[in-house]
Amino acid sequence: MNAALQLKDVHKSFGKTEIIRGVDLEIREGERHAVIGPNGAGKSTLYNLISGRFPVSSGAIRLRDQDITNRSAFEINRAGLCRSFQVTNLFHRMSVLDNVRCGALFSLGHKYAFWKFVSRQKDVAERADDILERIGLSGKRDWPAGMLSYADQRALELGVTIAGGGDVILLDEPTAGMSHSEIAQAVALIRRISTGKTLMIVEHDMGVVFDLADRISVLVYGEVIATGTPEEIRNSAQVKEAYLGTEAT
Partner 1 sequence: MTAPGTFVARYGIWIFGAVLLLIMPHVFTSSFALNLMSQMGVLIIFSLAYNMLLGQGGMLSFGHAIYFGLAGYFTIHYLNFVYDDIAPYIPVSLFPLLGGCVGLFFGTLVGYVSTRRAGTTFAMISLGFGEMVTALTLILVAIFNGEDGIQTDRVVGPEPLGISYGPNIEVYYLIAVWVLVAAAAMYALTKTPFGRMSNAVRDNPERTEFIGYNSQRIRWLAFALSSFFAGLAGSLHAINFEHVGFEQVSALTSGLVLFMAYIGGVGHFAGPVIGAVLITFLNGTLTTYTEAWQLYLGVLFVAVIMFFPGGLAGLIIMHQPIWRIDTRLLAPLTVPYLLFIGALLVSLIGFIGLVELLIYKTSRLGAAHDLTIFGITMDPSGVVPWISFAIVMAVGVYAIRKAFPVAAGAWNTAIDQARARAAQ
Ligand X SMILES: Nc1ncnc2c1ncn2[C@@H]1O[C@H](COP(=O)(O)OP(=O)(O)O)[C@@H](O)[C@H]1O
Residue 163 contacts partner 1 per CB under 8 A: yes
Contact partner, 210, from Mg ion, partner 1, ligand X, none, Cβ < 5-8 Å per class: none
Q: Helix, strand, coil % (nearest 5) of the chain?
A: 40, 25, 35
Determine, following the binding rule CB under 6 A, whether residue 44 of this chain makes contact with ligand X. yes
User: Per CB under 8 A, does 102 bind partner 1?
Assistant: yes
Residue 14 interacts with ligand X (CB under 6 A)?
yes
Name which position in 19, 27, 162, 171 contacts ligand X (CB under 6 A).
19
Cβ-based nearer residue to ligand X, 41 or 128: 41
Report DSSP state, residue 42: S
Measure Cα distances from 211 to 159, 202, 206, 230 in Å: 22, 14, 8, 9
87 binds ligand X (CB under 6 A): no
Neighbouring CB atoms inside 10 A of 201's CB total 24
Describe the crossing of helices 96-105 and 122-135 by its angle, rounded to 10 degrees. 120
Q: Which stretch binds partner 1 (CB under 8 A): 15-23, 26-34, 92-100, 131-139?
A: 92-100
**C-beta neighbour count of 115 within 10 angstroms:** 4
The verdict on 70 binding partner 1 (CB under 8 A) reads: no
Q: Is 50 in the site for ligand X (CB under 6 A)?
A: no
